[in-house]
């Protein structure tokens, strides 16, 4: 991310943090006063605002983590965040004087916090997506893939999607190994071609996403490389969808 973007993200984070602290302090006193007026004990009046603010903090943490990873936040996360902000909003309005101005002033901190959280989530989604030059993603030209067996070894071909999206077979890589252990390994792909292959495998999968083991078999690589390339492919797909 460029330096101006980093500065903007930091400024936004500081602003939302200030709003969050302000909303928490105001909400704490308002929720506590409403609890006491409702006949709750002193202990309950202290614990109730903590539970509301804690729910908001937990939901925001999960929401930002999902946004950075390019995942869609679960409905339960949104529900927890909505309930926490709604409880704070209702308590603020209930404790205010019965005038439109007083209620509008009391409602402002929770509403500002909700909007600030969405701003931070949007920044996290943009910052979490790898730039094409950082991911070493290059346009992949559609190339026909040779179908069939090469050589006379005992190993069979490896099934995969070619760059044009047609099911074919990648010819086994022959490295001249005398024991034949490397004879069945598929030809190595660069990161850009591998990312494109994973995206096409996901599109062809009935569930919309292939497993890491299937990616390892298709690319002939280890688990860590398969996981890294899958993250790049799906992040690029989410960015294109947006």
In a domain, 118, yes or no: yes
Helix H or strand E encompassing 202: helix 191-204
Specify whether 124 is located in the same domain as 178: no
Q: Which of 113, 139, 143, 99 is nearest to 53 (CA)?
A: 113
Specify whether 94 is located in the same domain as 208: no
Specify whether 120 is located in the same domain as 168: no
In a domain, 213, yes or no: yes
Are 191 and 232 in contact, with CB atoms under 8 Å apart?
yes
Domain count within the chain:
2
In a domain, 163, yes or no: yes
Specify whether 114 is located in the same domain as 228: no
0.85 cut: is pTM over it? no
At 55, list the tokens: 């729910």
Specify whether 124 is located in the same domain as 170: no
In a domain, 206, yes or no: yes
Helix H or strand E encompassing 179: none
In a domain, 72, yes or no: yes
Q: What domain range includes position 52?
A: 3-128
Within 8 A by CB and 6+ apart from 236, the residues are: 129, 130, 132, 135, 137, 195, 199
CA distance 162 to 201: 10
CA distance 201 to 205: 6
In a domain, 150, yes or no: no
Specify whether 119 is located in the same domain as 176: no
Sign (positive or negative) of CA dihedral 25, 28, 30, 36: negative
Q: Which tens digit of pLDDT belongs to each residue from 122-146?
A: 777 776 555 544 445 454 444 444 4
Q: Which of 50, 53, 54, 55 is nearest to 79 (CA)?
A: 55
In a domain, 75, yes or no: yes
pLDDT < 50 positions in the chain: 1, 132-135, 137, 139-178, 180-183
Specify whether 8 is located in the same domain as 115: yes
pLDDT the model gives residue 242: 59
Are 161 and 219 in contact, with CB atoms under 8 Å apart?
no
In a domain, 136, yes or no: no
- DSSP label at 131? P
Specify whether 35 is located in the same domain as 108: yes
């Amino acid at each position: 991310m460029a330096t101006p973007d980093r500065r903007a993200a930091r400024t936004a984070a500081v602003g939302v943090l200030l709003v969050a602290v302000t909303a928490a302090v105001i909400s704490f006193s308002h929720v506590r006063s409403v609890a006491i007026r409702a006949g709750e004990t002193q202990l309950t009046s202290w614990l109730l605002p903590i539970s509301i603010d804690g729910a908001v903090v937990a939901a925001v943490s999960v929401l930002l983590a999902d946004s950075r990873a390019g995942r869609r936040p679960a409905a339960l996360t949104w529900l927890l965040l909505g309930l926490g902000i709604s409880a704070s909003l209702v308590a603020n309005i209930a404790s205010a004087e019965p005038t439109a101005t007083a209620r509008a002033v009391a409602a402002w901190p929770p509403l500002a916090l909700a909007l600030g959280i969405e701003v931070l989530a949007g920044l996290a989604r943009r910052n979490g997506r790898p730039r094409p030059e950082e991911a070493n993603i290059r346009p992949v030209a559609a190339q026909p893939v040779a179908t069939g067996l090469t050589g006379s070894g005992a190993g069979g071909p490896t099934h995969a999607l070619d760059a044009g999206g047609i099911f074919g077979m990648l010819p086994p890589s022959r490295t001249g190994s005398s024991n034949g252990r490397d004879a069945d390994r598929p030809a190595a792909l660069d990161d850009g071609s591998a990312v494109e292959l994973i995206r096409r495998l996901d599109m062809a999968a009935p569930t919309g996403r292939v497993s890491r083991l299937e990616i390892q078999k298709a690319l002939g690589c280890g688990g860590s490389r398969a996981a890294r390339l899958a993250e790049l492919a799906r992040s690029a797909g989410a960015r294109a969808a947006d």
